[in-house]
Amino acid sequence: MVGVGKLLKQAQKMQQKMEEAQSLLSQELIEVSGGGGAVTVSVTGQGEFKSLNLDPEFLKEDPEFVSEAILQAIVDASEQAKKKSDETMSGLTGGMQMPGLF
């Protein structure tokens, strides 16, 4: 049976690696374009939205189309950030699900 001290050290190492990974994810910027390049959304690897840029000419289009393009770009950016976070964290946890990490 593995000693409690050894398990605690392993847990501390994993926690440190996870904190380092989360720090790197918070610095990584993911940029997603939509609407033929008229919409650009930037989000960190942790899912924090940083910017939304719109081509002024694009705003002259049908409002429903503009709204759909913006929403789709936001959804895509969020999905890419979650995927990046999941990939990074699963590498640390060996594929175990760790609730509350994202």
Phi/psi region, residue 49 (left: phi>0; alpha: psi -120 to 50; beta: rest), is beta
Which one-letter amino acid corresponds to residue 63?
P
Q: Coil, strand or helix: which one is 54?
A: strand
* Position 97 confidence tier, pLDDT thresholds 50, 70, 90: low
Residue 102 has pLDDT above 50, yes or no: no
36-93 pLDDT, tens digit each: 999 999 999 989 999 999 999 999 999 999 999 999 999 999 999 999 988 888 877 6
Residue 95 domain flag: no
Q: What is the CB neighbour count within 10 angstroms for residue 72?
A: 15
Q: What is the CATH number of the domain that holds 74?
A: 3.30.1310.10
12-34 pLDDT, tens digit each: 888 888 888 888 888 999 999 99
What's the structural domain count of the chain?
1
* pTM for the full predicted model: 0.74
Residue 13 domain flag: no
Cα–Cα distance between 47 and 38 in angstroms, integer?
21
Q: Which domain holds residue 58?
A: 27-86
Cα–Cα distance between 52 and 36 in angstroms, integer?
15
